[in-house]
Amino acid sequence: MQVVVLRDGAELAEAAAALFRERVAARPDLAMSVPAGRTPRRMYGHLRDWQAREPVDCGRMRVFSVDELCPPAPADGYFWRQVRREFLAWAGVPPERCHPFDVGASDLEAMCDAYEEAIKRAGGLDLVMMGLGPNAHIASNEPGSDFDSRTRPVRLTAETVRYILTDEVLQGAVSDRAVTLGIGTILAAREVVVLVGGRVKREPLARVLDGSIDPAVPASALRLHPRCTLLVDTEAHP
């Protein structure tokens, strides 16, 4: 696991945008799970502005979700709505190459199984980019999640729901039910990048870096990954 410490949130966003562009330029048909939430928001702004000055071809990407809230979240997805507005609106990725979770499906277990199959058909995920939760969760894999877990429906803790509600840009209703890439699915990706910003992430990051590798600290599983990078600002760094 490589930890890259950046000066502040602005530098973190710039570094994340640069890495994102480098990976797309190196492999235009990149299969990537793209993040949502407050930490990636500034990254998407940098990507949009950079694209206007120096375009890279994003049209061949295969875009996957990291996780998504179940109804009563918006029908077009609480997290996916952000991805659409802040990335897909300008990136030129055709709809058939975008893979949001269908949280309106009548059988969520079957939908998640089909999602795993879609990842397999894409040749596996080249890159998963995501944030770190305040209880050290990754995607929506809460403490206690098995390290070999696959894409599945989950129940969020009250702490996680409260944290989502503190986002200054609310997307609609927040459910305590979600679907998520499993930890095993994430570990199978060729590369994982985690964006960690803000003082609230200092304690969970310390547990990830210095504690035991334990399902009680879901993100500690990333220490088992051969190519995992944490982009961390100084407020979050222990």
Which residue numbers are catalytic?
67, 135, 137, 142
- List residues bridging with 50 in a β-sheet: none
Please state, in angstroms and rounded to a whole number, the distance separating the CA atoms of residues 220 and 139: 13
- Residue entry with tokens 């679907």: 179
Count how many residues are written for the chain.
238
Instruction: Calculate helix-pair angle for 9-26, 38-53, nearest 10 degrees.
Output: 60
234, 9 Cβ separation under 8 angstroms: no
d(CA 88, CA 133): 24
**Residue 127: closest CA among 9, 199, 228, 5:** 228
Contacts by 87-93 with C-beta closer than 8 Å and gap 24+? Answer: 87/34, 87/44, 87/47, 87/48, 88/63, 90/48, 90/51, 91/51, 91/58, 91/59, 91/61, 92/58, 92/59, 93/58, 93/59, 93/61, 93/63
Q: Which residue has the tokens 């060729």?
A: 190
